[in-house]
Amino acid sequence: MLSALTLAACNKEVKQTTPSVADFPYMVDQFYDLGILRYRVPGFENLTLQQKTLIYHLSEAALWGRDILTDQNCRYNLRIRRLCEQIYLNYPGDKTTEEWKKFEMYLKRVWFSNGIHHHYSEDKFIPECSFAWFQDACKQCGIAEDPALAEVIVVMFDPTVLPKKVCTDSGVDLLLNSACNYYEGVTQAEAEAYYAAHRDDSAEPLWIGLNSKLTKDANGNVIERTFKAEEGGLYSAALKKVVENLEKALPFAETEEQKLVIQKLIDFNRTGDLQTFNEYAIAWVKDLQSQVDFINGFTEVYGDPLGITGAWESMVNYKDLAATERTIKMSDNAQWFEDNSPTDPRYKKAECKGVTAKVITAAILAGDCYPATPIGINLPNANWIRKSYGSKSVTIQNLTEAYNEAALGNGLFEEFMLSEKEIDYAKRYSALTGDVQVDLHECLGHGSGQLMPGVTKDNLREHGSTLEEARADLFSLYYIADPKLVELGILPDNEAYKAEFYEQMMNGAMTQLVRVEPGKNLEEAHMRNRALIANWVLAHANPEAPEAAIIERDGKHYMQINDYEGLRALFGQLLAIVQEVVSTGDYEQAKQLVEDYAVRVDPVLHQELLERYKPLNIPPYKGFVNAVYKPVTDKNGNITDVLIDYSEGYVEQHLRYSRDYSVLPDINE
């Protein structure tokens, strides 16, 4: 009864629509702490038929990975999502009651988070509908007798069962206290010993553990279950579908280099071979001429408490040719930025190779990029590839456009900024400086610096992601205030950077806390990064004349910046410290930085911020629905056009995805 569903979501006829910004409905839905936005895909109709067809097939390959990510987040997620979808579609009772509305909100949250844990806080959320109502709903839908139901309901309703998706607490076993599905029956000590024994210290190392789950065999020995399409692979049913659609995309590749990228990815998904993955990553970095680009596969490691195994994600995109001129200026001057960094010369790259950057238009979001998504990406993550072959950095401009348009007039600046001066800076500059900050973070920040011999990505363990994000953010903050950006024509004047400085400090120390429940600490790596920067700066400001401080006015607290140049110097000091920690793999100093500045929340300030934020009715987290692509074919089945439609709603989209792109079993044994 809890197996893969045949969902009765209707198929709407898809038509070509190209609404202007003025009449585009950005906000689609809002519930709990979440806002669902729609993003435009400008210029799609002007692409060639080859490019449109390529995007269509790559998008299909992307959507087939949805269930992989859901299962990676927690082994019960697919069961719970499918159970709730069955009730949603088949419940014969009154759907106007408060109990139904609470149940519907729970399902919407499960869709958004790709599981039962909050996508940012990592805490499990419990259905607000009553236990008795849910049991009765199961009975009315004819699934109350399912033998798996009792276990599933306990996981859903008992707050003590699998309470945290990713545990980063000090002094506990991170694996046994995390609900994520990268390890099964394996302790932290056993996993660390396994990876230490299989560590690759060669000049071009394999990323051991990137695409596998650690479990135990019948004799109690730790073993890897590889994610691959071949027989016996974990997630094989979904990966076969990914491969099938990549093969359909292959004939429409724009260049020979892109054909090699797609073929290598096909081979990797089939076999799970990590040497093939390295070859794919290098080929992907080298493909610079194709306008259409994509990521697809096991990528970021934030969901693994040890920072080793990649979560499945995909994004299909194409280059925004006009906006990319901005990032080209940055990448062309990468060596200048590296040479003039305030970090120790030992930790600087003598030669910045292959730093390429572009502004893109996202065409489809999937896996760990959906519904919540990054607005910038820098890949690949392997340091040796970045050093020897370079990296690609992107800013996703149509997503930042959606965020900015949806935020117009929401009252946030007026409530939390100190004065009209800061509000004026924000209104004049923040849309541009926000994009430039992402450009610097992704294009140069992540690609800057170097590790000392013998140091790997694993040295900082659970704090590695926080420190890496802090390093990239500090790099971007330090350089967004540099006159070089005005000289290059990236910023219009030497005042613009102040908008980003103020918003970063206000957000890191204050307004991001509205995303946190009372009594909770900060958990997510990006939130910890922002808090670390702001709180360290406040703690190290000049006590006689602080560069920045939180002040009280009329019973409310505000961020005050007194010396913007001095604040930049503090960012530079912290950048030098963080770069040294990362370059030397100093775990103890990383731990101290995170625990001193990035975790704890002032409960009094937190309560004040929540009370001030609530009347604004602004969802603190936002995500997206995708556009729908529909191929037009001739009588022989050849694609003659691909049309785009923006009318699909949030609920309809997730029901369709569950119906059309779901082949994994409830529990992947």
Residue 6 has pLDDT above 80, yes or no: no
The interaxial angle of helices 564-584 and 587-597, nearest 10 deg, is: 140
Same domain, 355 and 484: yes
Q: Is residue 409 part of a domain?
A: yes
Q: Is residue 79 part of a domain?
A: no
- Mean pLDDT within 260-274: 98
Same domain, 180 and 310: yes
**Of 292, 317, 342, which marks where a domain is finished?**
317
Whole-angstrom distance, CA of residue 42 vs CA of residue 633: 23
Same domain, 361 and 229: no
- Mean pLDDT within 62-66: 98
- What pLDDT, in 10s, does the model give residues 342-352? 999 999 999 88
Q: Is the dihedral angle over the CA atoms 275, 59, 371, 617 positive or is it negative?
A: positive
- Mean pLDDT within 421-443: 92
User: Residue 288's CB: how many other CB atoms inside 10 A?
Assistant: 13
Terminal C-alpha separation, the chain = 18
Residue 447 has pLDDT above 60, yes or no: yes
The interaxial angle of helices 587-597 and 464-480, nearest 10 deg, is: 70
Q: Is residue 6 part of a domain?
A: no
Same domain, 312 and 331: no
Query: In the prediction, which pLDDT does 354 show?
Result: 67
Residue 11 has pLDDT above 50, yes or no: no
Query: In the prediction, which pLDDT does 669 show?
Result: 61
- Mean pLDDT within 418-439: 93
DSSP state, 127? -
8 Å CB contact between 209 and 228: no
Residue 19 has pLDDT above 60, yes or no: no
- Mean pLDDT within 334-341: 95
Query: In the prediction, which pLDDT does 17 show?
Result: 46
Q: Which of 497, 526, 498, 500 has the alpha carbon at shortest distance from 512?
A: 526
Whole-angstrom distance, CA of residue 434 vs CA of residue 589: 30
Region of poorest pLDDT, from 3-7, 65-69, 414-418, 630-634: 3-7
Q: Which residues contact 618 (CB under 8 A, 6 or more apart)?
A: 35, 407, 410, 411, 412
Query: In the prediction, which pLDDT does 99 show?
Result: 98
Q: What is the secondary structure of 576-641 as a DSSP string? A: HHHHHHHHHT-HHHHHHHHHHHTS---HHHHHHHHHHHGGG---SEEEEE--EEEEEE-TTS-EEE
Whole-angstrom distance, CA of residue 632 vs CA of residue 644: 11
Same domain, 426 and 543: yes
- What pLDDT, in 10s, does the model give residues 183-232? 999 999 999 999 999 999 999 999 999 999 999 999 999 999 999 999 99
8 Å CB contact between 312 and 298: yes
8 Å CB contact between 39 and 362: yes
Q: Is residue 366 part of a domain?
A: yes
User: Residue 284's CB: how many other CB atoms inside 10 A?
Assistant: 25
Residue 28 has pLDDT above 60, yes or no: yes
The residue with greater pLDDT, 9 or 144, is 144
**Percentage with pLDDT > 70 across the chain:** 96
CATH code of 201's domain: 3.30.540
Same domain, 343 and 207: no
Number of structural domains in the chain:
2
Query: In the prediction, which pLDDT does 146 show?
Result: 77
Residue 588 has pLDDT above 70, yes or no: yes
Query: In the prediction, which pLDDT does 181 show?
Result: 98
Same domain, 310 and 384: no
Q: Is residue 132 part of a domain?
A: no
Per-residue pLDDT band at 409 (split at 50, 70, 90): confident
Residue 136 has pLDDT above 90, yes or no: yes
Residue 13 has pLDDT above 50, yes or no: no
Query: In the prediction, which pLDDT does 458 show?
Result: 83
Residue 18 has pLDDT above 60, yes or no: no
Residue 12 has pLDDT above 50, yes or no: no
Query: In the prediction, which pLDDT does 14 show?
Result: 38
Q: Is residue 609 part of a domain?
A: yes
8 Å CB contact between 184 and 213: yes
Same domain, 196 and 266: yes
- Structural domain containing residue 423: 320-621
Residue 58 has pLDDT above 90, yes or no: yes
Same domain, 190 and 274: yes
Q: What are phi and psi of 376, to 5 degrees?
A: -155, 150
Q: Which residues contact 58 (CB under 8 A, 6 or more apart)?
A: 245, 246, 249, 292, 294, 296, 316, 364
Q: Quote the tokens at residue 537.
A: 């700066």
Q: Is residue 540 part of a domain?
A: yes
pTM of the complete model: 0.82
Residue 9 has pLDDT above 50, yes or no: no
Cα–Cα distances (Å) from 103 to 83, 98, 119, 133, 283, in that order, read: 12, 9, 19, 9, 46
DSSP state, 661? S
Per DSSP, the three-state class of 440 is: helix
Per-residue pLDDT band at 471 (split at 50, 70, 90): very high
Sole residue written with tokens 């056009």:
641
Same domain, 387 and 526: yes
Q: Is residue 371 part of a domain?
A: yes
Whole-angstrom distance, CA of residue 109 vs CA of residue 57: 29
Residue 22 has pLDDT above 70, yes or no: no
Q: Is the dihedral angle over the CA atoms 166, 172, 175, 176 positive or is it negative?
A: negative
Region of poorest pLDDT, from 134-138, 406-410, 435-439, 596-600: 406-410
Q: How far is CA 376 from the centre of its chain?
A: 9
Per DSSP, the three-state class of 663 is: coil
Residue 290 has pLDDT above 50, yes or no: yes
Kindly give the residue spans of alpha helices, DSSP state H, lying in 141-209: 149-157, 188-197
Kindly give the residue spans of alpha helices, DSSP state H, lying in 440-563: 464-480, 483-487, 497-509, 525-540
Query: In the prediction, which pLDDT does 353 show?
Result: 76
Region of poorest pLDDT, from 85-89, 194-198, 356-360, 656-660: 356-360
| SS3 sequence of 27-83 | EEEEECCEEEEECCCCCHHHCCHHHHHHHHHHHHHHHCCHHHHHHHHCCCHHHHHHH
Per-residue pLDDT band at 632 (split at 50, 70, 90): very high
Whole-angstrom distance, CA of residue 292 vs CA of residue 55: 7
- What pLDDT, in 10s, does the model give residues 567-582? 999 999 999 999 999 9
Query: In the prediction, which pLDDT does 405 show?
Result: 84
Query: In the prediction, which pLDDT does 517 show?
Result: 87
**Percentage with pLDDT > 90 across the chain:** 83
Whole-angstrom distance, CA of residue 535 vs CA of residue 598: 8
Same domain, 394 and 288: no
Whole-angstrom distance, CA of residue 416 vs CA of residue 526: 21
Same domain, 353 and 302: no
Q: Which residues contact 471 (CB under 8 A, 6 or more apart)?
A: 445, 446, 448, 449, 575, 578, 579, 582
* Beta pairing partners, 378: 393
Q: Please give the mean pLDDT across all residues of the chain.
A: 93
